[in-house]
Chain A
Amino acid sequence: MQTILETRNLRVEYPAQAKGQGRKAAVKDLNLRVSAGEVFGFLGPNGAGKTTTMNVLLGFVNATSGSAFLFGVDVREPIARQRIGYLPELTYYYKFLTAEELLRFYARIFGIPRAEADRRIDRLLKLVELEPVRKRPIRTYSKGMQQRAGLAQALINNPDLLILDEPTSGLDPLGRMKVREIIQRLKGEGKTVFFSSHELGEVETVCDRVAIINQGELKVEGRVADLVAEHQANLEQIFLKIIGYSPEGPT
């Protein structure tokens, strides 16, 4: 199976934020491997280091040590990002542009020919149900609408790998279901999806494999079905156990 996404002993430290405080390691010796066609859930409590890991994968933050690869290319090369789509944790786009213009802008960055771009934009706006508001500046969108514009933007280049940072946060139940459907459809098309989420039920239904990290360290990794069988518990219980929570109190 081809490896699409890989980190090797990845370590990320942030400089001290306050006096007397040392450098803070947000990710510690992380080894991940995601193969083609997988839907991979990246889990962990708040502050675990999920976003930081993704930031390294996208080249926003430099690894302190270790390395990361997409499609076998070091993430420091822009070309590594040719075939990926990314949805940031918090969506912010050029608010003075309309959804249509935003998508056209990203299409031009990928060098997608005009006619083809028009076709994709139409399709994507229908997919995320922004068709009726496509000519309105993003400034006038609700949070969920912006999130959906973000999802459309992540798909503009028909990517082989999607990196989604909490794609369902801020969406209503219907919106979440739609996102799940989209992920499943992408999987059906043979795409790879790497996403973080706090919705464990959702993760359980769509993911092939998951990794759970806590305080920057990888705790558990494996196929969802295997984990459930091994621990004799559902994903949520496993998660809580790993982060050190027991119903009686912290152990």
Chain B
Amino acid sequence: MNAVIAIAGVVITELYRRKDFYVLFVLTAVITLLTGAVNFFNDPQIVRYLKEIALLLIWISGLVIAIGTTARQIPAERENRTIFPLLAKPVARGQVILGKFLGCWLACGLALIVFYLFFGLVSGSREHHWPLVNYFQTLWLQWMMLGVVIGLVLLGSVVFAAPSSNATIVLVIVVGILLLGSHLNQVALQQPEPVRSIVYAIYFLVPHLEWYDVRDFIIYDSPLPGWADFGLATLYAGVYAALLLFATWLVFRRKPLNL
């Protein structure tokens, strides 16, 4: 466990020493504030479009940070050969994977907290109410989703050689799931037989990341999902992340590292 935490610590240190996160945050903040400054029909109470745009940017930034950070972890360790002194310590490869996962995931959580603080500040200053529990649930669900995404990227990073192709592939998969995931069963129904079963299988196999996108609930001030559903969704994400990490470990376990 020491090793896992130490490795995670280095990942987080790297994230805040690199400037990518700040760039994304400043970009989000600037765009949000600019759109917030637009005057629509002299009505200062209009707020939902602002929430919509801010949350969209946060959502994109979250994905970019998660995928961008995770995709280069293991390839960079191998390319810079830092993996050698690391594995020369009594560290199992599974611990490396776990540490990388934990580091990326916690780093994303920290980034999300910063983003949502900003969001709360902006929307709260207009609406004059702070539904903190809703913010928490939205943040949490997004964070859980990022856990699955990070697992996916880690698996990709031990399968594909180039981090850029890995990031692109995962991005396409994730965006695909977010947009189509919940409709694949309808798509399946419209297909002829062999294709239909395949689409159905995909539908039941893919992690349904679109569940974790509950932005609409805070944009439109709806009561959020109940705590039971919330817990189940967390569990589901946890199981998927664990499966992906296990698969990553299976691939990485015996991989010769100097090839």
Q: Do chains A and B touch in the complex (CB under 8 A)?
A: yes
Question: Residues of A with Cβ closer than 8 Å to B?
Answer: 14-15, 55, 58-62, 78-82, 84-86, 88, 90, 92-97, 101, 105-106, 108-111, 150, 153-154, 157, 163
Stretch at the interface among B8-16, B118-126, B185-193: B8-16
Known: A61-B257, A78-B90. Is A101-B13 also a contact (CB below 8 A)? yes
Task: Please give, as numbers and ranges, the residues of chain A lying within 8 Å of B45 by CB-CB distance.
Answer: none
Pairs across A and B, CB under 8 Å, 28 listed: A14-B259, A58-B84, A60-B256, A61-B258, A79-B90, A80-B90, A81-B87, A81-B89, A82-B90, A86-B88, A88-B84, A88-B85, A92-B84, A93-B82, A94-B10, A94-B80, A95-B80, A96-B14, A96-B18, A97-B10, A106-B6, A108-B2, A109-B2, A109-B86, A109-B89, A109-B91, A111-B2, A163-B88
Q: A58-B84, A94-B82, A96-B17 are contacts. A110–B9 as well, Cβ < 8 Å?
A: no
Q: Is there contact, CB below 8 Å, between B2 and A92?
A: no
- Whole-angstrom distance between the alpha carbons of A94 and B14 in the complex? 9
- Asked whether A60 lies within 8 Å of B14 as measured between CB atoms, the reply is no
Cβ contacts under 8 Å, B92 to chain A: 78
- Please tell me if the beta carbons of A55 and B258 are within 8 angstroms of each other in the complex: yes
Chain A residue, CB-CB nearest to B18: A96
Check A81/B90 contact, CB under 8 A, given A55-B258, A60-B258: yes
* Cβ contact within 8 Å between A84 and B6: no
Taking Cβ atoms with an 8 Å cutoff, the residues of B that contact A are 2-3, 5-7, 9-10, 13-14, 17-18, 80-82, 84-92, 95, 254, 256-259
Contacting B89 at CB < 8 Å: which of A88, A96, A106? Answer: A106
**Pairwise interchain contact B89-A60, C-beta atoms closer than 8 A:** no
Q: Is the CB of B13 within 8 A of A96?
A: yes
Chain B residues contacting A111 (CB-CB under 8 Å) are 2
**Which residues of chain B are near A101, meaning CB under 8 Å?**
13
Is the beta-carbon distance between B10 and A58 smaller than 8 angstroms?
A: no
Known: A96-B13, A96-B18, A111-B2. A60 touches B257 (CB 8 A): yes
Nearest 3 pairs of A and B residues by beta carbon: A86-B88, A108-B6, A111-B2
Query: When the two chains form their complex, are residues A105 and B84 in contact, meaning their CB atoms are under 8 A apart?
Result: no
**Is A105 a contact partner of B6 (Cβ separation < 8 A)?**
yes
Contact status A92-B80, CB under 8 Å: yes
* Complex: A43 Cα to B253 Cα, angstroms: 31
B5 in contact with A108 (CB, 8 Å) = yes
Q: What A residues does B80 contact at CB under 8 A?
A: 92, 94-95
User: In the complex, A162 Cα to B13 Cα: how many Å?
Assistant: 29
Q: How far is the CA of A228 from the CA of B259 in the complex (A)?
A: 38
Residues in A with CB closer than 8 Å to B84 are 58, 60, 86, 88, 92
For A108, the closest partner residue in chain B by CB is B6
- Whole-angstrom CA separation of A111 from B90 in the bound complex: 10
